[in-house]
Amino acid sequence: MQTMRHNGLMKKSIYGVMLSLSLLLMHGCSNVPGLTGVTDNSAMPGDASIQQANALFKQGKKREAAASYFNAASAYPSPQRERVILQAAEITASIGDADLTNSYLARAPLNTLNGENQGRHAYVSALLALQQKNPDLALRLLPTDMNALSPALREKVQNIRNRAQSSGGKPANAVKVQAAMIPTSVNRVAVLLPQSGALGGVSQDIIQGIQAARSGMGGSTSVNLYDVSAGGRLLNIKRPCRKVQT
């Protein structure tokens, strides 16, 4: 009987320790105080200065709200700081103020961002392009990895895509490459592009443009694609990785 009671107490103690550890880990992994959101450390802060900017925005005072967000950004560490700056840039982009938007974006350079902030930077740039009546550029600037975005930002990106396409914008892979890029006075052309890594997707867009240009020209030029590394090193000079077909 005493043994059963002892085992019961041991189980309760172990459960209590596990529960305490779980709460401690949850507290340690949560966002810093004052932040809304659960897991994204680039979520918008929710303290008094941000609430003031929110209020200005709701009152229709967009320029004042953007300035308020931007001024408040310096109080936060990265990546919250960049998130607040991008909020200011989104507002100025929505009213077509290119100079102010670009000055804000310069304070949150794309190459220093990651995660949702990177996608938001691309979205703001696309929004500005659309406001400046350039739907083609807007479509090219939009983030392509929708899975990396929050549902709210994903909805915004899709809205810009729909608006740009409704305005006659063409997707990036549908924009024709200038005919001068594909000489017609030669029979064979070598194209050196990286097929993997960060630039792999860009290379595919270029190849699709070449295909469109060749089809439109109706020429018989043979285009061989050679894979190069990120540093520009040719991986296989003897044999092309594939031929570009029309």
For residue 8, what are its two tokens? 């019961």
Nearest to 197 by CA among 237, 228, 236: 228
Q: What is the pLDDT, as a whole number, of residue 72?
A: 95
Q: What is the pLDDT, as a whole number, of residue 181?
A: 47
Contacts of 48-57 with C-beta under 8 Å, sequence gap 24+, read 49/75, 50/84, 53/87, 57/91
Q: What is the pLDDT, as a whole number, of residue 55?
A: 95
Split the chain (246 residues) into runs of 10 and give each run's mean pLDDT.
45 40 34 30 77 95 96 94 96 96 93 90 96 94 89 95 92 50 58 67 66 53 67 53 52
The contacts of residue 161 (CB under 8 Å, 6+ apart) are 139, 142
3-class SS of residue 190: strand
- pTM, to two decimals: 0.56
Q: What is the pLDDT, as a whole number, of residue 44?
A: 77
Q: Which CATH architecture has domain 48-170?
A: Alpha Horseshoe (1.25)
Parse the chain into domains and list their residue ranges: 48-170, 176-244
User: Is the Cα torsion angle 58, 105, 45, 117 positive or negative in sign?
Assistant: positive
3-class SS of residue 15: helix
Q: What is the pLDDT, as a whole number, of residue 182?
A: 46
